Structure 1
Amino acid sequence: MKSSVNNAVRRRATGAALVALVLGGGAVGCSKGAAQESPALTPAAAVAKAAKKTEDITSLRYRMTGKVPGEGRVSGEAAMSMKPLAMSMKMTAEDQATDGPVEIRLVGKAMYIGAGAEAAKEMNGKSWIKFDMSALGADKNLNADQLGGGQADKNPATESTFLTGSKNVKKVGTETVAGVRTTHYKGTVTLAEFRKSLQGRDKATREKREKALDQYSKMGIDAITMDMWIDGADHTKQFRMRGAADKGPLDMTVTFLEFNKPVTVTAPPAKDTVDLAEMMKGAQQG
């Protein structure tokens, strides 16, 4: 049973985890009003100002769509609170044969993944699998980083700061995104350029941004083309990231619907949940 459940969970979780990994970073912003730009504010300064505002995020809700390397087209919606840490994400892998959207919930130090109908057959009808993020690692085939848990504690504002390392940020024009007037900026940045731009930053900021950078290095991405749509309150309303990875193209667009609003995520009912650690411990003892 252990092997079949592991395989079912891995198929369900991998695509969602990659999205969570990519979107464990992001930008944030959602305010109404016309896009306004100071005559003295250069494109680079506007992007830097928006990046600075991401440091004050406490929660956000967003939707995403695009392509993930090795997984194909994905779409979904998520909500996340930074303090206390909690996340709820529903994701659909459109190019893969699955039995419905994958749902991930992060509550405290536990991550729950909706196992789907096939895995539920192997778990006496239970449809959720619980992963203790502080205890995972004993099973090399199902560890926290593979399932996206290694990215779960990141402030999902980090990737929006990548464009601050670009040397060719340009203003594209003004556009309406989800009913909000924004200013569209675009540029390219190599990972080496962004890493260099972190020199002189405070230790906490530098470490957080370097951690986000590392995930792209592991994908084999050397450079990122980025579009940002910034609203009149200097928040990033939407961003798009594109890059060439070892397993195919990365092309993700994230649109922010709310931020700094209450986010509540609850654990699935215990009667519908299997604890992976207990299940594996029982299998080992058996």
Structure 2
Amino acid sequence: MRSKRMTAGAIAVAAVTGSVALTGCGGDGDSEEKGASSSASSGAGAREEGTAAVRTAYDRTAEAETARMEIEVKAAADGRTMTSNGRGTLDMAEGDSVMTVTAEGKRVEQRVVDQVLYQKMEGQKAQGGRSWVKIDLEKVADQQGVNPQQIGDPAQSAAYAKAIADKDVTKVGTEKIDGVDTTRYKVTVDVAELPGGAQLRRQIGPALPMEVWLDDQGRLRRQQVDMTVKASAADGQPESGASPQQVKVSTRMEFSDFGTEVDAEAPPAKQVADMTDEALQGGRKQS
């Protein structure tokens, strides 16, 4: 299942990986000329400060507990590009979220409640004529050997912050986002240090480049991730001969309205078809 998640849209890696490793950046004080320090040491100090800000950014963002989130994902392969847009609210304390996602003219209502993903696609019915499908993220995460919140919460996982060092963070400058002053950073994440890093490295290479925009409280306001995902042999590609399919994925996330109300409730049970077993079977076939 992990491979399919990556090739189909890479939202899991882009969204999840992103908002933690790259969330943060409060204070941009570069300590310009204190005494006779050399420009090299001044640059090193600024870099260390930026790294520290990025590493603590998720915690600073999470202190708000909730936020409004928008996400845009563009996936291009074989000369075709698919764009999906989502917007909704996120409870960073509980991991719950409520979103509406639109892709190729189809609208999907999505909720994550208590580590369970619910989806309702416009104009389609699930098994038994039910309106919603659900997948137990805890069971899926257990199969993949990761924390369930790394799948269900696009702003989770302090583990990603450990995958960056001083050399991986560069301050780009300042910029306004929706009228809010932010500091912009380029961040390179060492894929090998991420959960499931060996698998990710085969699919996206050794480094994951991102850009993050942080407000003056060190909270994430925007994150941009651009990557090329390679389909593995497990996705139906031959072991040798033809080159594996490549999918270029660009993901942008924006956070605003911190402290907003999040009304995440599970749909009535009689309207839900449980697709967890199918998801787990798909994961076993591709692992």
Partner deviation per Cα, 1:131-174 (whole Å, 9 max, x = no partner): 3445669xxxxx889xx987126752659737833625333222
Alignment of 1:81 onto 2:91: yes
5+ unaligned residues in a row in structure 2: which ranges?
32-44, 231-245, 279-287
Identity %: 23
CA distance in 1, matches of 2:198, 2:59: 20
The verdict on how the C-alpha distance between 1:128 and 1:237 changes in structure 2, with shifts beyond 3 A counting, is same
**Counterparts in 2 of 1:154 and 1:66: CA distance versus 1, 3 Å:** closer
Cα shift at 1:260: 4.6
Residues 228 and 238 of structure 1 are in contact (CA less than 8 Å); yes or no, is this contact kept in structure 2?
yes
Secondary structure at the aligned position of 1:73 is classed as strand
RMSD (Å) for aligned C-alpha atoms: 4.0
Aligned counterparts of 1:216 and 1:277: Cα–Cα separation in 2:
23
Can you list the C-alpha shifts for 1:1-56, whole angstroms capped at 9, x where unaligned? xxxxxxxxxx9xx957x4245323433799xxxx9631326144124214313125
Could you say which residue in structure 1 is the equivalent of 2:242? Answer: none
The total of aligned residue pairs comes to: 234
**d(CA) in 1 for partners of 2:168, 2:101:** 33
The answer for the alignment partner of 1:60 in structure 2 is 67
TM-score, normalization: structure 1?
0.64
How far apart are the structure 2 equivalents of 1:36 and 1:109? 34
Question: Which of 19, 28, 37 is residue 37 of structure 1 equivalent to?
Answer: 28
**Which stretches of structure 1, 4 residues or more, deviate above 6 A after TM superposition?**
none
Letter in 1 for 2:169: V
Letter of the 1:241 partner, please give it: V
Structural mapping, 1:215-254, within 5 Å = 216-217=200-201, 219-246=203-230, 247-254=246-253
Please list, as runs of the form range in 1=range in 2, the aligned pairs for 1:21-36 lying within 5 A after superposition. Answer: 21-27=13-19
- What secondary structure is seen at the aligned counterpart in 1 of 2:262? coil
| Partners of 2:48 and 2:275 in 1: CA distance | 47
Distance 1:55 1:127 in 2: 37
1:51 corresponding residue in structure 2: 55
> Is the alpha carbon distance of 1:157 and 1:178 closer, same or farther for their aligned partners in structure 2, counting shifts above 3 Å?
farther
Deviation at 1:180, TM superposition (A): 0.7
Contact 2:91 2:262 in 1 (8 A): yes
Q: In structure 2, what is the equivalent of residue 123 of structure 1?
A: 128
CA separation of 1:54 and 1:109: change in aligned 2, threshold 3 A: closer
Q: Find the aligned partners of 1:168 and 1:241 in 2 and give their Cα distance.
A: 15
From 6, 11, 21, the equivalent of 1:19 is 11
SS in 2 for 1:211: coil
CA–CA distance in structure 2, aligned partners of residues 175 and 185 of structure 1: 11
In structure 2, the residue matched to 1:172 is 172
Q: Is the 8 A contact 2:11 2:73 kept in 1?
A: no
Contact 2:12 2:151 in 1 (8 A): yes
Q: Which amino acid aligns with 2:19?
A: A
Contact 1:166 1:188 in 2 (8 A): no
Unpaired segments ≥5 residues, structure 1 = 1-10, 138-142, 196-209, 280-286
* TM-score, normalised relative to structure 2: 0.64
Greater alpha carbon shift after TM alignment, 162-171 vs 172-181: 162-171
